[in-house]
Amino acid sequence: MRDAYIVTALRTPGCRRNKGALANTRPEALISFILDAVVQKTPGLDKGMVEDIMLGCSFPEAEQGLNIGRIAAQIAGFPDSVSGATVNRFCASGLESVVQACMRVMVGFSEVTMAGGVESMSFVPMGGNLPRPFPEMTKEHPDLYASMGITAENVAQRYNVSRQDQDEFAYQSHMKALAAQKSGGFIEVVPTPAVKFVEQADGTYKKEIFLQDFDDGVRATTTVEGLAKLRPVFAAAGSVTAGNSSQTTDGAAASVIMTLDKCKELGLTPLAKLKSYATVGVRADEMGVGPAYAIPKALAIAGLKVEDVGLYELNEAFASQALYSMRQLGLDKPGQVEKINIHGGAIALGHPLGCTGSKLTATLLNNMKAKGVKYGVVSMCIGGGMGAAGVFELYEG
Q: Assess whether 381 carries a catalytic annotation.
A: yes
Residue 137 burial (10 A CB sphere; 0-12, 13-18, 19+): exposed
pLDDT at position 237: 93
Catalytically annotated residue among 91, 102, 263, 355: 91
pLDDT at position 117: 98
Catalytically annotated residue among 15, 57, 355, 381: 381
pTM for this entry: 0.97
Please say whether the dihedral angle defined by the alpha carbons of residues 120, 351, 307 and 397, taken in this order, is positive or negative: positive
Largest CA distance in the chain: 66
Do residues 138 and 219 make contact, with C-beta atoms less than 8 angstroms apart?
no
For residue 124, give the DSSP letter: S
Per-residue pLDDT reduced to its tens digit, 113-155? 999 999 999 999 999 999 999 999 988 898 889 899 999 999 9
Do residues 345 and 381 make contact, with C-beta atoms less than 8 angstroms apart?
no
Q: Assess whether 343 carries a catalytic annotation.
A: no
3-state secondary structure of 199: strand
Cα separation, 287 vs 299, whole angstroms: 20
Of 121, 222, 249, 115, nearest to 168 by C-alpha is 222
Strands 249-258 and 15-16, by their bridges, are: antiparallel
Catalytically annotated residue among 57, 343, 351, 355: 351
Do residues 288 and 385 make contact, with C-beta atoms less than 8 angstroms apart?
no
Question: What pLDDT tens digit does each residue of the chain (397 aa) get?
Answer: 899 999 999 999 999 999 999 999 999 999 999 999 999 999 999 999 999 999 999 999 999 999 999 999 999 999 999 999 999 999 999 999 999 999 999 999 999 999 999 999 999 999 999 999 999 998 889 888 989 999 999 999 999 999 999 999 999 999 999 999 999 999 999 999 999 999 999 999 999 999 999 999 999 999 999 999 999 999 999 999 999 999 999 999 999 999 999 999 999 999 999 999 999 999 999 999 999 999 999 999 999 999 999 999 999 999 999 999 999 999 999 999 999 999 999 999 999 999 999 999 999 999 999 999 999 999 999 999 999 999 999 999 8
